[in-house]
Amino acid sequence: MRFLDLLAGYDAAIIIDAIQWGRGPPGTVYRLSPEQTIPTVRATSFHDIPLGHALRLGGMLGIPMPAKVVFLAVEVADVSTISELVSPEVEAAIPKVVMEVEAQLAAWGVLEHAHA
């Protein structure tokens, strides 16, 4: 629910997270809509609510949610180990994620020139 507070009042949002989807090797970058985020098989906390559901819930609660949301997810091999370091595959994906963010900001008219 705290995540909704972070998004409240913004027109647009780009959310970047790790994902263990299994559709590509670690380091694969996915661009998803909130509706495409993966439902969880466990629902033991609010962290387990899919993004699209959370955004709809925020709207139903009267919280002004962004109309435009892009979800960038990087495939990881392990989502259960917490570390300050990223795997070499994820580190190699960072420039692609930055390019995706810049391209989206340029498409929204927020950034004048995206790096090629």
HSE (side-chain half, CA atoms, 13 Å) at 41: 2
* Encoded amino acid at 71, one letter: F
- Cα–chain center distance at 108: 17
**Ramachandran quadrant class, 82 (left: phi over 0; alpha: psi -120 to 50; beta: rest):** beta
Q: What pLDDT digit, counting tens, does each position of 66-113 carry?
A: 999 999 999 999 888 888 999 999 999 999 999 999 999 999 998 876
Confidence of residue 42 (pLDDT cuts 50, 70, 90): very low
Count the Cβ atoms, other than its own, within 10 Å of residue 100. 19
Q: Per-residue confidence at 40, pLDDT binned at 50, 70, 90?
A: low
Kindly list the structural domains of the chain, giving each domain's residue range(s) and its CATH number in brackets, ordered by start.
2-107 (3.40.50.1450)
- Three-state SS at 71: strand
Mean pLDDT over the full length of the chain? 85
